[in-house]
């Protein structure tokens, strides 16, 4: 019997892995979770220590896809997904200080950690779809990193057309070029005359609208609520822990956080058997999670632009998955809380809050502190950090507790992706794009510009599907 997935809100049917891969969001508005989480014994963890990244990924992911994808096939997809990463270790761990470490997750094609999930997701989708003899259409809105990672992940897919909407003139030039210079008949970049919220509204409306695509095509979401993305991210927590002495000593992680997808994967690694003491939620001034963890109130506030744009969010969608556990899997309760949250702030029970505080700590880091951190890290370690990572290392120091063991900060992006923020830190250094992107500014761009109008966008998509 294959592993089944259930919705956090308990109203949607359970699905197998293939089902959740194609579904994204559950029909009841909830998020899918495995019914029973795989667990590794101490002996199994010890046996995993010497594995290469691809071997480890196969071992960690196999139980999640059982019944849908056999082990040999998975091994092939995984090694293909991580082959083009530009560091032999795939996810190297660098020492910053006696007990502070950096996990570099930016050696993939688009220089951000999202490549870990989306390189694999594209291959999983194409494999499953070719077996079913189906094609799908991916539609997403991006303000930066997700769009390029999704496009790179799907560029070789034969069964996927991908449409990425971004706000015309409002993404950085590096980020735009990382999307628009990828050649492929199945890749469609759409600049919308509007802002990011407009793009997101067009995507949301398309998912609930009447079918508008050619017969037989369905829409697939690849935003961070897709279970397969979370699953792929669990792997590097094991990999990093083994590099700094785990599982024989507990490890701590500091994670630059927006939608709570990445850090939730760390939480799952812990629940799967990895000894972890402290998971640090590092936020910028958009601090919904920091407020939740310190006050017990989960409440929306307007988004404010910061130097770390990939963490500029007003709510963290994946937090619902943690809530499900904090409330012992009581789906009716989660359903009620999310209904209430649509109306206004919600409060966590004392039990739920104290459970969360046992494992998680948090810190909020301002733009000024971010620049200060980039400068200080450059001076003390010779590492040039991107602004998201700098929030992580600052929060790591603020939240380190005596005697808890090594602290690993996730370096979520390469500094050359955010040159303006790095310049503001006045290190005297200009981050250089890695070799494979050195000619990014000379490459030909391809995109279409459309009005912020649902009918226009849908007609365009129907027309462009291969
Ligand atoms: C997406 C992103 C984050 C936030 O990750 P979540 O999974 O949304 O918490 C942090 N840093 C960078 C560079 C990102 O691209």
Under 8 Å between Cβ of 160 and 138: yes
Whose tokens are 């293939």? That residue is 18
Q: How far, in Å, from the CA of 29 to the mean position of ligand 1?
A: 22
- How confident is the model at residue 24, as a pLDDT? 79
- How confident is the model at residue 189, as a pLDDT? 97
Q: Indicate the average pLDDT of the chain.
A: 95
Ligand 1 pocket, mutate which of 109, 145, 171, 290 (most atoms under 8 A from CB): 145
pLDDT (tens digit, 9 = 90+) per residue, 442-459? 999 999 999 999 999 999
- How confident is the model at residue 92, as a pLDDT? 98
Q: How far, in Å, from the CA of 239 to the mean position of ligand 1?
A: 19
Q: How far, in Å, from the CA of 392 to the mean position of ligand 1?
A: 11
Under 8 Å between Cβ of 168 and 452: no
- How confident is the model at residue 401, as a pLDDT? 87
User: Which ligand 1 atom lies nearest to the CA of residue 114?
Assistant: 15
**Cα(3)–Cα(75) distance, integer angstroms:** 19
Residues annotated catalytic, as ranges: 114
User: Which ligand 1 atom lies nearest to the CA of residue 412?
Assistant: 13
**Cα(251)–Cα(348) distance, integer angstroms:** 27
Ligand 1 pocket, Cβ-based, cut-off 6 angstroms: 112, 114, 145, 224, 256-262, 310-311, 388, 412-413
Burial of 290 (0-12, 13-18, 19+ CB in 10 A): buried
- How confident is the model at residue 1, as a pLDDT? 67
**Cα(361)–Cα(294) distance, integer angstroms:** 9
**Cα(30)–Cα(85) distance, integer angstroms:** 33
User: Which ligand 1 atom lies nearest to the CA of residue 149?
Assistant: 15
Phi, psi for 449 (deg, rounded to 5): -105, 125
Smallest CA separation from ligand 1 atom 14, residue: 310
User: Which ligand 1 atom lies nearest to the CA of residue 313?
Assistant: 8
Smallest CA separation from ligand 1 atom 2, residue: 310
Per 3-state DSSP, what percentage of the chain is helix, strand, and coil (rounded to 5)?
Answer: 45, 15, 40
| Nearest residue to 407 (alpha-carbon basis) of 286, 230, 282 | 282
pLDDT (tens digit, 9 = 90+) per residue, 120-174? 999 999 999 999 999 999 999 987 789 999 999 999 999 999 999 999 988 888 8
- How confident is the model at residue 463, as a pLDDT? 94
Question: β-strands 251-256, 276-283: how paired?
Answer: parallel
Q: Which residues touch 250 (CB under 8 Å, ≥6 apart)?
A: 275, 276, 277, 404, 405
Q: What is the pTM of this model?
A: 0.96
Q: How far, in Å, from the CA of 389 to the mean position of ligand 1?
A: 10
Per-residue pLDDT of the chain (466 residues; tens, 9 = 90+): 689 999 999 999 999 999 999 987 888 989 999 999 999 999 999 999 999 999 999 999 999 999 999 999 999 999 999 999 999 999 999 999 999 999 999 999 999 999 999 999 999 999 999 999 999 999 999 877 899 999 999 999 999 999 999 999 888 888 899 999 999 999 999 999 998 889 988 998 898 877 899 988 989 988 888 999 999 999 999 999 999 999 999 999 999 999 999 999 999 999 999 999 999 999 999 999 999 999 999 999 998 999 999 999 888 999 999 999 999 999 999 999 999 999 999 999 999 999 999 999 999 999 999 999 999 999 999 999 999 999 999 999 999 988 899 999 999 999 999 999 999 999 999 999 999 899 999 999 999 999 999 999 999 999 998 7
Q: How far, in Å, from the CA of 256 to the mean position of ligand 1?
A: 6
Q: What is the dihedral of CA 327, 329, 330, 336, to 10 degrees?
A: 70
Residue-by-residue DSSP string for 176-227: HHHHHT---TTEEEEEEES-HHHHHHHHHHHHHSPP-SSTT-EEE--STT-H
- How confident is the model at residue 27, as a pLDDT? 87
User: Which ligand 1 atom lies nearest to the CA of residue 389?
Assistant: 11
pLDDT (tens digit, 9 = 90+) per residue, 358-379? 999 999 999 999 999 999 999 9
Q: How far, in Å, from the CA of 317 to the mean position of ligand 1?
A: 12
Q: How far, in Å, from the CA of 173 to the mean position of ligand 1?
A: 19
Phi, psi for 5 (deg, rounded to 5): -115, 140
Ligand 1 pocket, mutate which of 110, 307, 388 (most atoms under 8 A from CB): 388
């Amino acid at each position: 019997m294959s592993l089944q997935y259930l919705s956090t809100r308990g109203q949607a049917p359970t699905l197998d892995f293939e089902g959740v891969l194609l579904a994204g969001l559950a029909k009841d508005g909830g998020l899918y979770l495995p019914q029973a989480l795989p667990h590794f014994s101490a002996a199994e963890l010890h046996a995993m220590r010497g594995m290469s990244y691809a071997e480890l990924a196969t071992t960690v992911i196999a139980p999640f896809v059982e019944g849908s994808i056999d082990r040999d096939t998975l091994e092939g997809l995984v090694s293909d997904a991580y082959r083009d990463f530009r560091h032999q270790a795939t996810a190297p761990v660098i020492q910053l200080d006696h007990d502070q470490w950096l996990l570099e997750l930016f050696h993939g094609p688009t220089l951000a950690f999202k490549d870990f999930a989306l390189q694999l997701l594209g291959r999983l989708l194409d494999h499953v779809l070719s077996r079913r003899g189906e094609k799908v259409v991916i539609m997403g809105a991006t303000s930066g990193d997700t769009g390029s990672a999704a496009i790179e992940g799907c560029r070789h897919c034969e069964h996927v057309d991908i449409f990425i909407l971004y706000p015309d003139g409002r993404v950085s030039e590096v980020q735009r070029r990382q999307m628009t210079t990828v050649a492929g008949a199945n890749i469609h970049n759409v600049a919308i005359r509007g802002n990011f919220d407009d793009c997101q509204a067009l995507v949301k409306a398309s998912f609930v609208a009447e079918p508008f695509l050619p017969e037989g095509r369905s829409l697939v979401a690849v935003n961070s609520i897709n279970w397969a993305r979370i699953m792929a991210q669990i792997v590097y927590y094991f990999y990093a822990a083994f590099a700094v002495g785990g599982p024989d000593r507990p490890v701590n992680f500091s994670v630059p956080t927006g939608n709570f997808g990445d850090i939730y994967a760390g939480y799952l690694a812990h629940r799967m058997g990895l000894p972890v003491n402290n998971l640090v939620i590092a936020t910028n001034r958009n601090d919904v999670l920091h407020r939740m963890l310190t006050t017990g109130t989960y409440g929306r506030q307007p988004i404010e632009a910061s130097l770390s744009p990939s963490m500029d969010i007003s709510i963290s969608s994946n937090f619902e998955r943690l809530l499900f556990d904090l409330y012992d899997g009581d789906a009716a309760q989660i359903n009620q809380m999310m209904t209430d949250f649509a109306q206004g702030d919600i409060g966590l029970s004392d039990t739920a809050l104290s459970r969360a505080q046992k494992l998680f700590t948090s810190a909020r880091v301002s733009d000024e502190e971010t620049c200060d951190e980039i400068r200080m890290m450059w001076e003390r370690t010779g590492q040039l950090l991107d602004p998201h990572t700098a929030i992580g290392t600052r929060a790591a120091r603020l939240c380190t507790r005596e005697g808890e063991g090594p602290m690993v900060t996730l370096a979520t992006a390469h500094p050359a992706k955010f040159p303006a923020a790095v310049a503001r830190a006045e290190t005297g250094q200009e981050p250089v794009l890695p070799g494979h992107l050195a000619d990014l500014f000379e490459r030909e761009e391809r995109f279409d510009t459309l009005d912020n109008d649902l009918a226009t966008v849908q007609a365009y998509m129907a027309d462009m599907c291969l």
